[in-house]
């Protein structure tokens, strides 16, 4: 591990050549922009007649759907399906609202899906432009084509405020979710205040993301969450992959209790190579709180190191956003400890170049 002062040094900041820190800091502004630009929209009558929603997206462009589905699982009256493939499922019909999400507008899988949507299927597009924006125009699909002014890094995974709150606002317009400008303003203010302790200008001794990054450095990670935090922790897993280049797994409660605990015995080397991060919440049901504590007990008894993160926000939406914010900065500081540019994704770029 580098000395404790490394993350407070100018050398650490110099590794951030593509403004990842600025994008992370601008999560609240992304949320505000998406809500402000989309909330005045009137959706076609066919959208209100949908009885299910299919969100087609890959990587960072699909994270918003997973986050919203987790937070509002007990509130949404329409099922939301997330689709990661080249071909649409056979069950789509004129009562399916398809949402095509591609930050660049050029994602192969999403363009492939878009090309086969029947004319009578209501469709909405979320993108910054590209081929997908052209298809929206030619087909007459309503679209949110946004200028990502609060994502200077240009990385889709760091535009999570846009993708999440574009979908949130659409669901609000469909009367699936209740919200208001004042509620969004309160959320934005909370996240702005919360981010202050996470910024690179905040010294390590007062910065929980820097402190945890140093403890996790050079370890394989297992993240454990439940219910409304599942989507945000899943998104954090992706950021730990792409920003920190760190092998990270995500398991959820109660499901992991039915298999993972027995899988922690071998290989013996895993006990020193893996660390757990548990995400607790006062908003979990009592049975989940009990399962979480018992799971922590079993993990500790097997000799694994573990850490507990507990968001402080008062409601599920804010706790989820708080968790995304924390994990984004955690992945950023791990990248700096590895002395790498958190924006670069050389192996993903290599694969795409060979397709």
Q: Are 126 and 143 in contact (CB under 8 A)?
A: yes
Burial class (CB in 10 A: 0-12, 13-18, 19+), 309: buried
Q: Would you say residue 331 has pLDDT above 60?
A: yes
pLDDT value at 2 more than 90:
no
- Mutual angle of helices 181-195 and 316-337, in 10-degree steps: 30
8 A C-beta contact, residue 100 and residue 114: yes
Q: Which position has the token pair 């949507």?
A: 117
18: tokens are 């593509």
Q: For the sheet containing 143-145, what is the strand order? A: 80-83, 52-57, 96-102, 123-127, 143-145
The single residue listed with the structure tokens 């050029």 is 106
- Sign of the dihedral defined by the CA atoms of residues 342, 348, 354, 355, in that order: negative
* Angle value at C-alpha 321, between 255 and 342, nearest 5 degrees: 95
Ordered alpha helix ranges (H), 196-278: 208-216, 230-242, 270-273
Instruction: Determine what percent of the chain is predicted with pLDDT higher than 90.
Output: 98
**The pair of three-digit structure tokens given for residue 276, joined into one six-digit string:** 């757990």
Dihedral sign for Cα atoms in the order 32, 37, 38, 42: positive
The pLDDT value recorded for residue 5 is 76
For 93-146, what is each residue's pLDDT tens digit? Answer: 999 999 999 999 999 999 999 999 999 999 999 999 999 999 999 999 999 999
Residue-wise pLDDT tens digits, 260-300: 999 999 999 999 999 999 999 999 999 999 999 999 999 99
Count, residues in the chain: 355
Predicted confidence at residue 4, as pLDDT, reads 55
pLDDT tens-digit readout, 17-51: 999 999 999 999 999 999 999 999 999 999 999 99
Q: What is the C-alpha separation between 293 and 92, in angstroms, rounded?
A: 41
Domains recognised in the chain with CATH numbers: 6-17+203-337 (3.40.50.10490), 20-185 (3.40.50.10490)
6, burial (CB in 10 Å: exposed 0-12, middle 13-18, buried 19+): middle
Is residue 3 scored above 70 in pLDDT?
Answer: no
Q: In the predicted model, what is the mean pLDDT of residues 203-222? A: 97
CA distance 159 to 162: 6
């Amino acid at each position: 591990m580098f000395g404790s002062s490394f993350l407070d040094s100018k050398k650490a900041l110099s590794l951030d050549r593509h403004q990842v820190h600025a994008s992370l800091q601008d999560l609240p502004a992304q949320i505000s922009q998406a809500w402000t630009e989309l909330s005045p929209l009137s959706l076609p009558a066919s959208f209100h007649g949908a009885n299910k929603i299919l969100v087609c997206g890959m990587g960072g462009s699909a994270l918003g759907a997973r986050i919203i589905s987790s937070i509002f699982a007990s509130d949404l009256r329409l099922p939301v399906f997330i689709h990661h493939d080249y071909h649409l499922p056979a069950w789509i019909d004129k009562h399916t609202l398809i949402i095509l999400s591609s930050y660049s507008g050029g994602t192969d899988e999403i363009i492939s899906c878009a090309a086969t949507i029947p004319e009578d299927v209501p469709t909405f597009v979320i993108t910054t432009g590209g081929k997908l924006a052209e298809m929206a125009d030619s087909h007459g699909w309503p679209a949110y084509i946004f200028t990502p002014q609060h994502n200077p890094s240009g990385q889709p995974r760091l535009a999570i405020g846009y993708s999440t709150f574009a979908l949130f606002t659409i669901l609000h317009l469909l009367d699936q979710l209740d919200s208001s400008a004042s509620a969004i303003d309160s959320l934005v203010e909370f996240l702005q205040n919360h981010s202050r302790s996470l910024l690179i200008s905040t010294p390590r001794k007062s910065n929980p993301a820097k402190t945890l990054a140093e403890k996790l450095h050079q370890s394989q990670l297992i993240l454990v969450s439940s219910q409304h935090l599942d989507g945000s922790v899943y998104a954090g897993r992706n950021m730990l992959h792409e920003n920190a280049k760190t092998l990270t797994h995500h398991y959820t409660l109660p499901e992991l209790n039915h298999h993972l605990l027995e899988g922690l015995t071998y290989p013996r080397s895993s006990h020193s190579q893996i660390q757990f991060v548990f995400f607790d919440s006062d908003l979990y049901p009592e049975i989940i709180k009990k399962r979480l504590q018992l799971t922590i007990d079993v993990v500790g008894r097997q000799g694994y190191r573990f850490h507990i993160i507990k968001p402080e926000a008062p409601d599920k939406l804010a706790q989820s956003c708080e968790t995304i914010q924390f994990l984004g900065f955690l992945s950023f500081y791990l990248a700096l400890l590895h002395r790498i540019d958190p924006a670069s994704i050389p192996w993903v770029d290599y694969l795409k170049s060979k397709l």
